[in-house]
Amino acid sequence: MVNRVKEKVSKGEVTYGTWITMGYPEITEALSHLPFDWFVIDMEHTPLDVKDVEFLMMPLRFTNVVPIVRVPWNDFVIIKRVLDTGAQGILVPQVENKDEAIQAVKAAKYPPQGIRGVGPRRCIMYGFKSAKEYFRTANDDTLVIVQIESENAVNNVEEILSVNGIDGVFVGPNDLSASLGIFQEFNNPKYIAAVDKVLNAAKAAGKIAGIMTSDPQDALDKVKRGFNFISLRHDIAYMIKGYTDAFKLLGVLK
Cis peptide before 93 (omega within 30 of 0): no
Cβ–Cβ < 8 Å for 34, 20:
no
3-class DSSP state for residue 192?
helix
- For residue 186, give the amino acid letter: F
C-alpha–C-alpha distance, residues 102 and 128, integer Å: 32
- The residue among 228, 229, 232 whose CA lies nearest residue 218 is 232
Find the catalytic residue in 13, 24, 34, 45. Answer: 45
**Residue 234 known to be catalytic:** no
Enumerate helices (H) and strands (E) in the chain, giving the number of each.
Answer: 12, 8
3-class DSSP state for residue 136?
helix
DSSP-H helix ranges across 1-126:
4-10, 25-31, 50-57, 76-84, 98-108
- For residue 66, give the amino acid letter: V
C-alpha–C-alpha distance, residues 198 and 196, integer Å: 5
C-alpha–C-alpha distance, residues 10 and 12, integer Å: 5
CB atoms within 10 A of CB 128: 6
Enclosing H/E stretch for 39: strand 38-42
* Residues marked as catalytic: 45
